């Protein structure tokens, strides 16, 4: 993919991406590192061509396989919660999908690992990240509930799928002082962003905004 395709034209142009970043700022995203990362990553290359013109809208979009790419605000918000007052360090993403969020994380950390349970989606993510020249992001076809024990511990873990509880394997793979953020199912279909911090005295949880994510499922396919 050439530089013109990465830069985009029309509704996928750098100017449109800049408007997205300004909208994120107006929505309350303040960390300049997060805003810069969101502006760097060409979201349109992570979507099917028919949807590329909608890439910088603040909405989730379909990826196929009953999966979606998260809306830009939610991506920025979850990463801002994780990075507040520190660096991301070694990152694990559960639910790589098309690779977009991994790309944003990869502009903020030199150590990013991402797992995806759906093999065709993982293949797309590999291609997209190669096009975006983010070769340091390591992808694996795996059950996200199990984490990635061979690369643990992680300073930062982010889940792109919702569950009523944090998988125990992920808690055990957190480094001291580490942070995990995920969409937590609280009641029925209601979900919120949940931050879990590993402290000397145990795990501390803080709840944030309401969100809507696909469920965290077991196994691989």
Give catalytic residue positions.
Answer: 70
Contact of 52 with 12, CB cutoff 8 Å? yes
- Distance CA(25)–CA(145), nearest Å, equals 33
CB 152 within 8 A of CB 76: no
For the beta carbon of residue 66, count every other beta carbon within 10 angstroms: 10
For 203, the 3-state DSSP assignment is strand
182 beta partners? 194
3-state secondary structure of 200: coil
Q: What is the DSSP string of 85-149?
A: TS---SEEEE--TTSHHHHHHHTT-S-EEEEES-HHHHHHHHHHHHHTT-TTEEEEE--GGG--G
Based on the number of CB atoms within 10 Å of its own CB, is 210 exposed (0-12), middle (13-18) or buried (19 or more)?
Answer: exposed
Pairing of strands 190-199, 202-211: antiparallel
């Amino acid at each position: 993919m050439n530089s013109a395709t990465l830069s985009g034209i029309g509704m996928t142009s750098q100017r449109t991406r800049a408007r997205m970043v300004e909208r994120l700022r107006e929505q309350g995203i303040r960390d300049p590192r997060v805003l810069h990362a969101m502006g760097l990553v060409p979201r349109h290359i992570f979507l099917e061509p028919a949807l590329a013109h909608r890439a910088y809208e603040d909405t989730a979009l379909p990826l196929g396989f009953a999966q979606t790419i998260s809306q830009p605000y939610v991506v920025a918000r979850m990463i801002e919660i994780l990075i507040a007052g520190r660096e991301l360090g070694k990152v694990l993403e559960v639910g790589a999908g098309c690779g977009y969020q991994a790309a944003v994380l990869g502009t903020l950390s030199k150590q990013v690992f991402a797992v995806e349970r759906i093999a065709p989606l993982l293949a797309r993510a590999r291609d997209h990240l190669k096009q975006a020249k983010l070769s340091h992001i390591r992808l694996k076809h795996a059950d996200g509930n199990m984490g990635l024990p061979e690369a643990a511990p992680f300073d930062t873990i982010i889940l792109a799928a919702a569950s009523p509880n944090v998988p125990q394997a992920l808690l055990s793979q957190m480094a001291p002082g580490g942070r995990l953020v995920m969409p937590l199912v609280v009641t029925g279909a209601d979900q919120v962003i949940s931050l879990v911090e590993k402290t000397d005295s145990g795990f501390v949880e803080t709840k944030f905004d309401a969100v809507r994510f696909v469920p965290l499922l077991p196994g691989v396919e």
